[in-house]
Amino acid sequence: MRRPVARKLSVLAVAAAVVSVCAAAPPAAPKTGTPAKAPVAVGYGGAVSSVDADATAAGIEVLRKGGNAVDAAVATAAALGVTEPYSSGIGGGGYFVYYDAASRTVHTIDGRETAPLTADSGLFLENGEPLAFADAVSSGLSVGTPGTAATWQTALEQWGSRRLGTVLRPAERIARHGFTVDGTFRAQTASNETRFRYFPATAKLFLPGGRLPAVGSTFKNPELARTYEELARKGVGAIYHGDLGEDIVRTVNKPPVDPGSGWNARPGKLSGKDLAAYRAELQAPTRISYRGLGVYSIAPSSSGGTTVGEALNILERTDLSRASEAQYLHHYLEASRIAFADRGRWVGDPAQEDVPTRELLSQRYADSRACLIRDDAVLTSPVAPGDPRRPASCGSGGTAAPTTYEGDDTTHLTVADKWGNVVSYTLTIEQTGGSAMTVPGRGFLLNNELTDFSFTPANPAVHDPNLPGPGKRPRSSISPTIVLDRHNRPVVALGSPGGSTIITTVLQTLTEFLDRGLPLVDAIAAPRASQRNTARTDLEPALYDDTGPAGPRARLEAVGHAFTRNPEIGAATGVQRLPGGRWLAAAEKVRRGGGSAMVVRPAR
């Protein structure tokens, strides 16, 4: 009943190129020197897409000088650490997915932060009770061993063609000379102003002169420029075995709080041993077959690959291409609801938990769960998990667990080069502003990733795989994804920030593109819905505010869906391979101020 995917994708590629070619060459940069943003670009020689124009331009600079996709991805990520410091940086971690064109294979790096080796399941308990989330976030307890720098070094050693110092140069230059403050940067600073004022080093850096940075002003970070210079000279050993690491440990264990603020910045337990023991893990990707295509993503410790993969498997036998918008959204939301139920029960750090990754991704298990979906009714949330090791038709077992909170701010980049290599990379410091603690004199914020652990068991009746533990990686929702055709060549790569909504953003964008036939930039821009095994589904305004009787919201409510208005979900970027050696880069049109897509040589 399904249309041939290969034929449809070729049509999509041509349509996307026709729609996008006029926007391929961005307009001249404004006088400030900041490149202009464009959400789509088509051309040759490689492509980069991120949320920020300076960062995308840094990646393009590396590609133009002969670097490959990995080199450009690290350069882009380092620049995002300057221009998107509340979402990413060397104080955080992330997950890196790489397609190697020579071997036509996909590889991944788990660069997730880890808990201290002295941590136990009571990390966030005080006097036997769980800390309030706000108390835990802005403290040393929330900071995990950073993994970003180790990820960069591992990727460059495995697949790169340039040294770390070379690819850091564009970011170091931006940090020294500054970038132009936009409305998003100011708004994110304002939303964290109270927390930032707790810590003098943070206030000095991000509230210059004691005030919010003005839109249109130039923001400089000379401390981070010097930190990048040190990394260029000494390598990442400066963090994991050197003075920079000592500064991180000191900040975590003795938070440099303003005594007049009255804030109780609880000390952490990070040590030099934790830094020295850290490794960015090379591991196999998750893989499923969807509509005859290979969908590759990141395996646990992230739940992204397993949850997106399970949901796609659940949808495999439903013809979404012929469905009405309401029917499509209904099946997409129910598949996500079910996959999140299984995520909460089974996924944690595989180094310390028995995670049934293969079984969660089996079509047999997905079919046993798909039969729960009805066209005329909604499953009651929270849905109970199934047992992937013993699939039972329409079966659920045990007690449902609620979806735990994850910070909603991260950043994603996608890169392709002229040789056909592709990178999909999501990096983060967890929520906007991370822990709010800047390492004094170093110019970067530390993460609050350990608050992604369950503070107490999500479901007291069963083992929670996401409780803290020594050296353990907290569960993530990060879902960098690469889709290959039947000949193991790239079709599309994408990802998004957004906490637990990352999974639904990637799932919806993939199905809008692969099944619904939208050009990539329009699939990214489409209004989003996010269901994460909760009683109510988040809807963006374009869907929520459409209250007409013939609109999708009314039709979905008629079968039992309930909704909450969410002003913005995710901020995706992607690249698509087109015929003739061309690449299409796509980013957000509006979300987070719009993204930035560029190519090395725009098509004319």
* C-alpha to C-alpha distance for 198 and 260, rounded to whole angstroms: 8
Q: What does the alpha-carbon distance between residue 465 and residue 123 come to, in Å, rounded to a whole number?
A: 15
Side-chain half-sphere CA neighbours of 319 within 13 A: 6
| C-beta of residue 448 within 8 angstroms of C-beta of residue 97 | no
Is residue 114 flagged as an active site residue? no
Which residue among 76, 318, 410, 509 is the active-site one?
410
Name the token pair of 452.
């992604």
Residue whose C-alpha is closest to residue 172's, from 247, 223, 124? 223
- To which residue do tokens 């989330």 refer? 133
> What residues form DSSP beta bridges with 100?
105
Alpha-helical regions (H) of 160-288: 164-177, 183-191, 193-198, 200-206, 222-234, 237-240, 243-253, 272-277
C-alpha distances in Å from residue 560, one per residue of 252, 319, 371, 549: 47, 22, 18, 15
Return the closest-CA partner of residue 171 out of 223, 218, 228, 222: 228
* Cα 309 to Cα 343: distance, rounded to the nearest angstrom: 11
Spatial separation of the C-alpha atoms in residues 571 and 411, rounded to whole Å: 8
**Is the CB of residue 491 less than 8 Å from the CB of residue 108?**
no
**Among 152, 148, 177, 154, which Cα is nearest to 167's?**
152
In angstroms, how far is CA 151 from the centroid of its own chain? Answer: 15
Report the distance separating Cα 45 and Cα 158, nearest Å. Answer: 22
Q: Are 292 and 2 in contact (CB under 8 A)?
A: no
The CA R_g of the chain, rounded to the nearest whole Å, is 23
Strand partners, 417: 46
The token duo for 190 is 């304002």
| Gap between the Cα atoms of 87 and 80, Å rounded | 8
> Per the structure block, which two tokens stand in for 342?
């299984």
Token pair 């990352």: residue: 502
Q: Where are the beta strands (DSSP E) in 457-505?
A: 481-484, 490-495
HEC-encoded secondary structure of 364-417 = HHHHHHHCCCECCECCCCCCCCCCCCCCCCCCCCCCCCCCCCCCCCCEEEEEEE
Report the catalytic residues: 410
